[in-house]
Amino acid sequence: MKPWVSAPGCRCLLVLAALEILTAAGLPAAAQENDGVLVDRQVKIPMRDGAHLVATVYRPAKMAQPLPVLFMLDPYGAGRYGEEGHWYAARGYILAHVDVRECGDSPGTFRPFETEGRDGYDTAEWLARQPYSNGKIGMFGGSYQGWVQWATLKEFPPHLKTIIPGVSTYPGTEGIPKNRNINLPYVMSWLHQVERNSGRPSLDGRLLFERKCEMYRKHLPFSQFDSLHLGASPPFQTWMKHPAVDAYWDSLNPTEEQYARMNIPILTLTGHFDADQTGAMTHYRRHVQNASPEARKKHFVIVGPWDHQVYRAKGSAEFAGLTFGPTSRIDMTQLHLDWFNWTLKNGPKPAFLEKNLAYYVMGEERWKFADSLETLPSSPRNWYLDSGEKGAPSLAAPGLLGDAPPRRAPSETYTYDPLDTRPGEMEIELGGEPGSYNIMSTNALSQRYAQSVSRFGHGLVYESPPLAEDTEVSGYARLVAWISMDVPDTDFMVTVHEVRPDGTSIQLTDDALRARYRTSPRTARLAMPGEIDSYEFKQFWFFSRVLRKGSRVRLVFMSPNSIHLEKNYNGGGVVAEESAKDARRARITLHHDARHASFLELPVVPRGTR
């Protein structure tokens, strides 16, 4: 969760001289000049409810006229961004880093996702009124700060003119605190990181990880996870009261009507391996689906071969054991400046933004551009699940992903025992705490799922024949699976991989689904024992890669049993309150016959359009 950049909007103030303006503003006398930049610390920004936020403001010491103001509403402590503040001030912008309530230097109570929209509005309009501002206000920030921009924009502050939401979460379904209605233990690490002023003793990363392992090994209810961290957490307990998508979660994100009204320049940034990619892309997709044609033309999105730390894209052309071409390295800071200069100062459009969608094709190692996701030159290709020769497909003897409907045995069955801790112990032994917190693993972990499924039998593995030619796959996967089981509820995870001729594998994308939410994330409907039902997995990560000739497509289908996910004990009650006493061993059957054709759909790019 790191900062981004965004640009401000349009009001002119006539002034006699910059010094006269700054004197009239009543700015803090303690402002310090350093290398031509004035730094105002402990700036109090009033909120409508009588509270105030504390900001650090960076501005050029010499100003011939008022300037655009950029700001980030930040839960991590604004004092960390001095170098960035000096950089933008030296290039003709004022930069304000603002602490959210109860974080950094701001007083109040931190209620994640609940107050930032209104506070963002009040901050934007207060900054627009300052004598050093020309009324053009922009926002920047990544992850939580990326979401803050959407929350602020849905309040429609008049002077907010552009945003660059990077790696934004979408609370309720994508990112913190859960994915696909499956809670993430990572949230307690995150809450400890941001709740510095809460009075709760801080825990180091290793101890936080040990608490996660303790919950897993002792089969404790997830709803009590915060009690392992030296006391109850009000935000955590609030989230536990809302297991499905409901009015609470709806209130935190823009509505369709609000997306439809948004009409300012937006630059969305994310990566193929970004923990919050699905959140960033959900905002993007919901906006362009509801916005006017004029507004859609103003929304640009970049998807690169990066993880959650997109801002480091300039520094490395490697990730998780993969190496990318030199063009994958983008000077993000310069791109942000070019964007601001274009949207706030009538400069030229950034040259990189050839079209509204820029995506990096891994394997081919080059950028491609499209007008939108809908115009990607790809068409769906189905791989049908079929039994292997030995049944119960495993890594050693996988089932088939074929072009034709299945012809062999009509189903496979596996067992998931939530009290079996061996898969989690394997995770601890092999990798420990991962760098990201999403359901999707990175390529370095690609073999782990197939190995775990084969060793412990809590899933199935399918592979295609070797590809006859290089094949580009760009877009979103989809899986339709016909499933029956003998328990009322469980969780499923699906991962898709490229298996190279030498046996190494690269994870391409994944998805997960809680059985009770198979028809809607809003409505729980428990499974009937023995009933065959259709499960559609359609929230995969976006990816783009050329799969090499001779490679195979691998599908791993399993019930996750992980230290990094809330465990479903299959009892059918409130999952977060279940524990060992509620555990039920599940027999899961994946069907693929003439009436129940289970298939994986991949967006393959025809050769003539590559």
Phi, psi of 497 (to 5 degrees): -135, 155
What is the Cα–Cα distance from 299 to 29, expressed in whole angstroms? Answer: 41
The amino acid that residue 417 corresponds to is: D
DSSP state of 462: E
- DSSP, collapsed to helix, strand or coil, labels residue 256 as helix
Radius of gyration of the chain (CA): 25
Q: What percent of the chain has pLDDT over 90?
A: 72
State the DSSP code for 478: E
- Tell me what pLDDT residue 98 has: 96
Say what the pLDDT of residue 394 is.
77
Q: Is the per-residue pLDDT at 414 higher than 70?
A: yes
Q: In the numeric block, which tokens belong to residue 599?
A: 């298939």
Q: Which residue has the higher pLDDT, 386 or 231?
A: 386
pLDDT per position as a tens digit, 353-373: 999 999 999 999 999 999 999
Q: Which pLDDT does position 360 carry in this prediction?
A: 97
Element (H, E) at 485: strand 478-485
Predicted confidence (pLDDT) at residue 14 exceeds the cutoff of 70:
no
Q: What is the pLDDT of residues 270-316, one digit of tens each?
A: 999 898 999 999 999 999 999 999 999 999 999 999 988 887 777 67
Listed residue (157, 153, 154, 144) closest to 110, CA to CA: 144
Q: Can you point out the beta strands (E) in 378-477?
A: 379-386, 399-402, 411-416, 459-463, 471-475
Q: Strand ranges (DSSP E) for 339-467? A: 357-361, 366-370, 379-386, 399-402, 411-416, 459-463
Say which CATH class 379-609 falls into.
mainly beta
Q: State the chain's mean pLDDT as an integer.
A: 88
Nearest to 64 by CA among 98, 119, 29, 20: 20
Residue 197: per-residue pLDDT? 55
Sheet strands (E) in 292-378: 299-304, 318-319, 322-323, 357-361, 366-370
3-state DSSP of 27-94: CCCCCEEECCEEEEEEEEEECCCCCEEEEEEEEECCCCCCEEEEEEEECCCHHHHHHHHHHHHCCCCE
pLDDT value at 127 more than 50: yes
Mean pLDDT of all residues in 235-245: 96
- Is the per-residue pLDDT at 515 higher than 90? yes
- Residue 509 pLDDT grade (very low, low, confident, very high; cuts 50, 70, 90): very high
Residue 332: which pLDDT band, with cuts at 50, 70 and 90?
A: very high
Write the single-letter amino acid at 450: A
φ, ψ dihedrals at 25, nearest 5°: -70, -15
> Are 407 and 387 a contacting pair, CB within 8 Å?
no
Q: Give me the sign of the Cα torsion angle 13, 14, 17, 19.
A: negative
Domain boundary assignment for the chain: 18-171+252-375, 379-609
Cβ atoms of 526 and 489 closer than 8 Å:
yes
Q: Is 12 helix (H, G, I), strand (E, B) or coil?
A: coil
Tokens of 378: 């790809």
Averaged pLDDT, 530-556: 96
Instruction: Tell me the range of 14-18, 123-127, 394-398 where mean pLDDT is highest.
Output: 123-127
pLDDT on residue 12 = 30
CB atoms within 10 A of CB 366: 13
| pLDDT computed for residue 391 by the predictor | 62
Q: Band the pLDDT of 189: cuts 50, 70, 90.
A: confident
Q: Looking at residues 445-455, what average pLDDT do you find?
A: 75
| 266-271, strands of its sheet edge to edge | 32-34, 37-46, 52-60, 94-99, 67-74, 133-142, 160-166, 266-271, 299-304, 357-361, 366-370
With bands split at pLDDT 50, 70 and 90, how would you rate the model's confidence at 437?
very low
Mean pLDDT confidence for 196-206: 64
pLDDT at 202: 64
* pLDDT value at residue 193: 81
Q: Would you say residue 3 has pLDDT above 50?
A: no
Whole-angstrom distance, CA of residue 413 vs CA of residue 429: 28
pLDDT per position as a tens digit, 62-99 = 999 999 999 999 998 766 777 889 999 999 999 999 99
Q: Domain 18-171+252-375 carries which CATH code?
A: 3.40.50.1820
What's the confidence (pLDDT) of residue 175?
Answer: 82
Q: How many beta carbons lie within 10 A of that of residue 2, not counting itself? A: 19
Pairing mode, if any, of strands 133-142 and 67-74? Answer: parallel
**Distance between terminal CA atoms of the chain?**
34
Reported as a pLDDT band with limits 50, 70 and 90, residue 432 is low
Query: d(Cα 342, Cα 8) in Å, to the nearest integer?
Result: 11
Categorize the per-residue pLDDT at 165 as very low, low, confident or very high, splitting at 50, 70 and 90. Answer: very high
What is the average per-residue pLDDT within 30-39?
78
* pLDDT at residue 449 in the model: 72
Residue of 189 and 589 predicted with greater confidence: 589
Q: How many CB atoms lie within 10 A of CB 327?
A: 12
Rounded mean pLDDT, 155-160:
98
